[in-house]
Structure 1
């Protein structure tokens, strides 16, 4: 029987009606494989994955295919977002066997969980040199039943390779220096697409963490070519179809090199990271008073609204994703992009002839189209002078689009991704004096602390306010801590720091490699034992757990109390020392490492503002938030109310700013000009 009906994962629930006897990954499921002496068929995907839906419709909903699966395998379905540990282990196996990975991921395992054959999507009928899924099932069954020795040999070889791969970063003679970071940035810039911006070719993914790291590099060096690359990429994405020109928010990636046609799923982790980068860019490149807001500022504002309106949950957290597909008819396969695309005739139908033609010109909608069947994804390569008309038209089109069938939403609340959202909202809210953004971050944090932290330990995800059983991984602890520290700075409230330190201590206790200082596993020491204990130091669509923890440690080392700060700083330095090899050898995949290393190279910077009225932004606090480089720890609070304000009094009864680099501090200053000068000193 199918056992997914009570799963906490929306992705698993999508498969609860399949005739396949799906189970979740449990000890009981593995035990059944041992008892029946059959292999495990492991299918890994996620709710907004287009090709996962295709394979489900073609194969998992087919009774004959399901009969073959049920008779010869124990069938296990895994949500990669709920169980990133399983996804990491078996994705490494898939890449090792095939040279590439992706979802849906289809793996065949021994009852002990050892992989012996892996792949991704398999079609219903043979095509393009690929066997059909049923042909594959028949071949695997035959091999298992009649050539077991081949299975044992393959599984042993793959398992040995996985265990070797999980040995951690190699020892290398690299240190975090300005020269290393400049080398990494130069290598990244050599990969810039000179025509369309961004890095590399199609499909083109938003370089989310990398943009933040490049911004911090520019703040240190003042290199115009670095800021230019950030501006070009930020503008190309925001004007292309990868950005929703009506509601805000970024799609997962662009299928072309020019950012025009997106893969339409919208992920929380992309939008949270991009919000952080765009808010940082907007903050440091503000337009003059009275001038129109910059593109970066507009995208910041609209992305915040997208998070709140489209991904916000009733409990205060943020949902994981919007699907790539739209189901136009019940029971039929979804159609990718159906919610979002337009024709000139549709624009005229909604807006009338004059506004319809004007909107088509603004948003690049043509009779030929840039997508399928003569439809167009909206782009916006110019900003028309008539802003009032533009906003009226956007509002009309938003309302019209809201009346169309909408993509499904994955309501699963993932701790790590919500931690990134808390960080971005708190930072943006502080920078732009938007207390409602900070309040949204605080509401999310309170929900996570209430429902995702159980007996001091973090759970990975929840659905409808109920936490699942999957334990948190390293990134969950790291980003929740970083988000809480961002709230501590945005509000001046001590409780956020206390919660952050408690969780950070748990992370150190359970994820540290006991044999190598500064090396971290992605799963806890008391988590389920898999064929290998994963640890991936590479920053991908989301930052690596280790690089994420490096930021949490560095920030806590600057903001924490004296008993915690010193060991946090030491662990941050040791972690960055281990990660330096990634910056040296794979800088395109080291965006978060670069982000943290740039902050560490400055000390990190700390600005402690002693004030008796922290809720009323002073000139000093406004100046610090507007001009301090990314990664600076900024706190305004009454003297001695927080560790950063210990023994830091007012100056002649007035607010005073104390600027420190690491453990070396300047004399206090009382004016914005003095603070600006102190922050500009190297």
Structure 2
């Protein structure tokens, strides 16, 4: 029984730390968090649950709040006939996965806010997304819908029908999320899975505008697809794959998805041409797009990709970083409109912080020629491209601007950069979008991985930023004694047991940081997380990795996350990471788990490879093997770092090893190993000089003193 006799008689969201939940704390709706108090009240009072799932940067979540949840009449119906529960999907992706599954199955689409009506036992019987206050476009009015559902629930016959539907829908959720569909022969996806995925992705690509999706939009970044296309381009010589990668990255970097003034990427674009974005900025997008840009830079040598990645890291460091090193979650899409003439802030508008008029550019930039160049470069016109203002896109080349204005290209670039800095400074005076300051373990893992790769490819200084974030997560969210991870930190409040994505993304991050720095402590943490994945998420009977921990809360279904969505598939990242960490373990269980997951889901991966991008890369890694580069040196030669920075090497695993055997023994103690794993064993320096060993699938090059030579051997063996 609850200590609170009437837990649903008041809005309890002011007790929460989630900014999204707190945004609804002053609604007249008696919102409850998803907890035992609320669920117990629904069961005791035999009331259906109205579940609303969203997140702080969600535009339509804000719209529905203003239209419906602040309405006293709507609140009266919700409070009397339902137990209203509000959930932050970023805190509880498990709940979001379960109820989004049935929304997509029943309605054919998904999105946020997600609105679901559940039995007191949590089983859904009606579902949708945004509902307007008045009937329009085939959508029922929200208030009318509430009245209809309340009336039906009060009728015994209708209620029985609703419960029967809830049972059927729950079975559908279990079939979609929980029940593995193992391949009949128990084999992993075949060695041609990358070729199939590549051909499918190339056929489906928008070759005119870049990316995937046509018919007017929207266009979402698909970094997982770009990663396997780059792999096919480099290893298999697929020039069509290379072209799709460059067309997509070019569109993302030049269009409105990228913030040309302050760096970083928005969530997605609403149109086919990548012009107008949905303006929120998510940590996970800026991590995964940056990784794709680094891959694109190594694949093509395009400096534009390197610059965009660097400016994205700069944005994250400036606007999404906790003082102690962790990374915040999001910046919202809305902010008050701003009148430069009187300095007054108006109503909240989507994109107000980011858009420009010619007059605003002229007011911000001191030199008239600089201002004209900036307007022409980024397409700032009186008409605009978004509600009378302009979302900046690269509209003219530097060469064309130089010819038009009678200037050298180098002078044009200098003037544009000076103008950009002045526009950026002017923008700092505008009201800012809200920032969601949750620190999420998994999303931090994605950004740490991106920065670690940035340290290898661009500047080793990024490793320090990554290490600070990893230290923050370890200090605040990792319980070393129990080997368990919490998901969320907010202002000292730590809550929610970690999900597979938290463990998997963070394990990959720690491994990537070891590869960037050669610091064994990062490798040890990656192995600790891998052991936790085995213990909490691996089901030996079903031979799959579940999204929720064995010891976690029991829902109507235990979900798996096999497809890449806004974030990579947690199962796919886990499988890739377990294969890599198997090289440093004194057993073969990590590889066995990874192979088991691939075999269990081979049919699904082969049937829809584009949707399973991370698992496609994992399957290819299984067949091709890692390219192990054991690097033995006290002082790393600059030539090594230059070669690693300039060369795209799919499946690369950097296995740093101390040259001194006594230090190696200390490393083994840190890792809890009795003897050196094969990737390190008998691989010391030769001739007293830094030495590199390249191995793949049990074949190794002779010891070499040049990384470039070792890579040449690997290319010949491929």
TM-score range normalised by the length of the shorter chain = over 0.9
Distance verdict in 2 for CA 1:673–1:488, change over 3 Å: closer
Pair 1:249 & 2:284 matched: no
Q: Provide the C-alpha distance between the structure 1 equivalents of 2:317 and 2:631, rounded to a whole number of angstroms.
A: 31
C-alpha deviation, 1:605, in angstroms: 0.8
The CA deviation string for residues 436-477 of structure 1, in whole angstroms up to 9 with x for no partner, is 211011111111111111232111111124322x11111111
Which of 620, 623, 626 is the aligned partner of 2:640? 620
Partner in structure 2 of residue 511 of structure 1: 537
Greater CA deviation, 576-585 or 323-332? 323-332
Which of 187, 202, 213 is the aligned partner of 1:200? 213
Q: What secondary structure does 2:539 align onto? A: coil
C-alpha deviation, 1:187, in angstroms: 0.7
Pair 1:341 & 2:351 matched: no
Instruction: Please give the residue correspondences for 1:491-640 in structure 2 after superposition, counting only pairs within 5 Å.
Output: 491-517=517-543, 519-558=544-583, 560-561=584-585, 563-564=586-587, 566-613=588-635, 616-627=636-647, 629-639=649-659, 640=661
Pair 1:457 & 2:514 matched: no
The CA deviation string for residues 356-410 of structure 1, in whole angstroms up to 9 with x for no partner, is 22211100111221111x2110001444222111110000001111111111111
C-alpha deviation, 1:575, in angstroms: 2.3
Partner in structure 1 of residue 149 of structure 2: 140
**Does the 8 Å contact 2:284/2:443 carry over to 1?**
yes
Q: Provide the C-alpha distance between the structure 1 equivalents of 2:562 and 2:628, rounded to a whole number of angstroms.
A: 27
C-alpha deviation, 1:673, in angstroms: 4.5
**Residues paired across the two proteins, number:** 667
The CA deviation string for residues 222-268 of structure 1, in whole angstroms up to 9 with x for no partner, is 22211111011001110001111111111111100010000101111
Partner in structure 1 of residue 281 of structure 2: 266
Distance verdict in 2 for CA 1:218–1:118, change over 3 Å: same
Partner in structure 1 of residue 670 of structure 2: none
Q: Provide the C-alpha distance between the structure 2 equivalents of 1:462 and 1:127, rounded to a whole number of angstroms.
A: 40
C-alpha deviation, 1:177, in angstroms: 4.0
Which of 298, 318, 321 is the aligned partner of 1:283? 298
**Does the 8 Å contact 1:68/1:137 carry over to 2?**
yes
Partner in structure 2 of residue 88 of structure 1: 97
**Does the 8 Å contact 1:478/1:548 carry over to 2?**
yes
C-alpha deviation, 1:130, in angstroms: 1.6
**Does the 8 Å contact 1:582/1:589 carry over to 2?**
no
C-alpha deviation, 1:624, in angstroms: 3.7
Which of 180, 183, 202 is the aligned partner of 1:189? 202
Instruction: Please give the residue correspondences for 1:640-651 in structure 2 after superposition, counting only pairs within 5 Å.
Output: 640=661, 641=664, 643=677, 644-651=679-686
The CA deviation string for residues 537-559 of structure 1, in whole angstroms up to 9 with x for no partner, is 1111111221121121022123x
Q: CA RMSD in A?
A: 1.9
Distance verdict in 2 for CA 1:452–1:479, change over 3 Å: same
TM-score (norm 1): 0.94
**Does the 8 Å contact 2:189/2:603 carry over to 1?**
no
Partner in structure 1 of residue 405 of structure 2: none
Q: Provide the C-alpha distance between the structure 1 equivalents of 2:254 and 2:492, rounded to a whole number of angstroms.
A: 36
Distance verdict in 2 for CA 1:40–1:419, change over 3 Å: same
Q: What secondary structure does 1:645 align onto? A: coil
Which segments of 5 or more consecutive residues in structure 2 lack a partner in the other structure?
1-9, 339-343, 399-408, 668-676
Pair 1:424 & 2:424 matched: no
Partner in structure 1 of residue 673 of structure 2: none
The CA deviation string for residues 73-110 of structure 1, in whole angstroms up to 9 with x for no partner, is 11110001100110011111212222211110111111
